[in-house]
């Protein structure tokens, strides 16, 4: 087995991350070595890594993938990666894309394995999820637990329903802040994302997602009031007609007690009766 690069030595050569720019780099060898194993069941022939920094995870991914494409926004780290992994770049095993992961064109990758910048983790996650590609992603622990939460869990909410619309979400490891340099203020967690079709049908995905967003802005209200109060978010022209079409028992519940398939049923009724604009 090829000897792995020391993450602390990489940081010394590349330069320390700036926490003001959301740069927190993994330095725990044990965590770094485990991360690719969580993607063993995925096709790792072309791995997408977002936010590589000095390349400690990149080094591990090159050991298991045929190709790795890195998207790195910081031009200094992008330049360092090209120099540090010059042989892999020359061999076609590594491509370094300098730019914002929310803006650059993504390659035709087979899975993503990334320690995401936390300030943009939600936006990046919801760029990746519709791609229907498997992933192992690092998030703040609270965010990860909300993604994976089941109905009636305290952490269950809009994020849970929306993420699980696209995939099975599993928290596979909690990572302490001491595993990073500089240390973030909170613990982190690794999430395994396994794409699958939802167990329900949605005719208009954009409307469904807007409807879920709308109701969760009123999560403490019952469904009746949530529908009435959020027509400006769900773009319903006649929310009262939706209320009249929904079963009374369901109207008494709160959004946080509704399973994703129930949201799909409600969204279908809203689309049929509420005159979406």
The DSSP-derived string for 49-103 is EE--TTSHHHHHHHTT-SEEEEEE--HHHHHHHHHHTHHHHHHTSEEEEES-TTT
Q: According to the annotation, is 72 in a ligand binding site?
A: yes
Residue 220 CB coordination number (10 Å): 9
* Strand pairing category for 188-195 and 135-140: antiparallel
Which conformational region is residue 15 in: left (phi greater than 0), alpha (psi within -120 to 50 degrees), or beta? left
* Cα separation values, 245 from 9, 140, 166, 241, 249, Å: 63, 40, 28, 6, 12
| Amino acid 119: pLDDT | 87
| Amino acid 20: pLDDT | 66
CA atoms of 106 and 10, how far apart (whole Å) = 26
| Amino acid 33: pLDDT | 97
User: What residue has token string 């780290």?
Assistant: 77
CA atoms of 214 and 77, how far apart (whole Å) = 40
| Amino acid 16: pLDDT | 81
pTM to 2 decimal places: 0.93
Query: Model confidence over 200-254: pLDDT tens digits?
Result: 999 999 999 999 999 999 999 999 999 999 999 999 999 999 999 999 999 999 9
What's the CATH number of domain 205-273, 2.60.120, 3.40.50, 1.20.1070, 1.10.8?
1.10.8
Q: According to the annotation, is 168 in a ligand binding site?
A: no
| Amino acid 22: pLDDT | 73
Q: According to the annotation, is 100 in a ligand binding site?
A: yes
CA atoms of 233 and 236, how far apart (whole Å) = 8
| Amino acid 152: pLDDT | 81
Name the token pair of 72.
């790195």
Architecture of the CATH domain 7-195: 3-Layer(aba) Sandwich (3.40)
Listed as ranges, residues in the chain with pLDDT below 50 are none
Q: According to the annotation, is 26 in a ligand binding site?
A: yes
CA atoms of 128 and 241, how far apart (whole Å) = 36
Element (H, E) at 188: strand 188-195
* Cα separation values, 10 from 37, 84, 122, 250, Å: 22, 9, 28, 56
* Cα separation values, 237 from 141, 153, 214, 240, 241, Å: 39, 32, 14, 9, 9
Domain ranges of the chain: 7-195, 205-273
Which residues, in sequence order, are CB contacts of 30 under 8 Å at separation 6+?
none
């Amino acid at each position: 087995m090829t000897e792995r690069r020391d993450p602390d030595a990489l940081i010394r050569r590349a330069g320390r991350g700036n926490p003001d720019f959301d740069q927190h780099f993994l330095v725990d060898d044990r965590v770094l070595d485990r991360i690719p194993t969580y993607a063993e069941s995925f096709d790792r022939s072309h791995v997408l890594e977002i936010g590589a920094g000095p390349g400690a995870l990149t080094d591990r991914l090159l050991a298991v993938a045929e190709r790795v494409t890195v998207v790195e926004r910081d031009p200094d780290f992008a330049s360092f990666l090209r120099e540090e992994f010059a042989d892999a770049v020359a061999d076609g095993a590594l491509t370094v894309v300098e730019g914002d992961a929310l803006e650059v064109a993504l390659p035709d990758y087979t899975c993503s394995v990334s320690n995401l910048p936390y300030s943009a983790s939600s936006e990046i996650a919801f760029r990746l999820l519709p791609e229907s590609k498997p992933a192992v992603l690092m998030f703040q622990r609270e965010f990860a637990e909300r993604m994976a939460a089941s109905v009636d869990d305290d952490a269950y909410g809009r994020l849970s329903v929306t993420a699980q619309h696209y995939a099975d979400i599993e928290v596979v490891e909690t990572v302490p802040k001491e595993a990073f340099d500089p240390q973030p203020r909170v613990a982190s967690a690794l999430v395994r994302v396994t794409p699958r079709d939802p167990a329900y049908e949605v005719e208009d995905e954009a409307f469904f997602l807007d409807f879920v967003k709308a109701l969760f802005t009123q999560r403490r209200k019952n469904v009746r009031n949530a529908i009435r109060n959020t027509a400006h978010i769900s773009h319903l022209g006649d929310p009262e007609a939706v209320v009249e079409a929904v079963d009374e028992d369901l109207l008494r519940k709160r959004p946080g007690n509704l399973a994703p398939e129930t949201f799909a049923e409600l969204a279908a009724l809203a689309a049929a009766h509420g005159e979406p604009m």
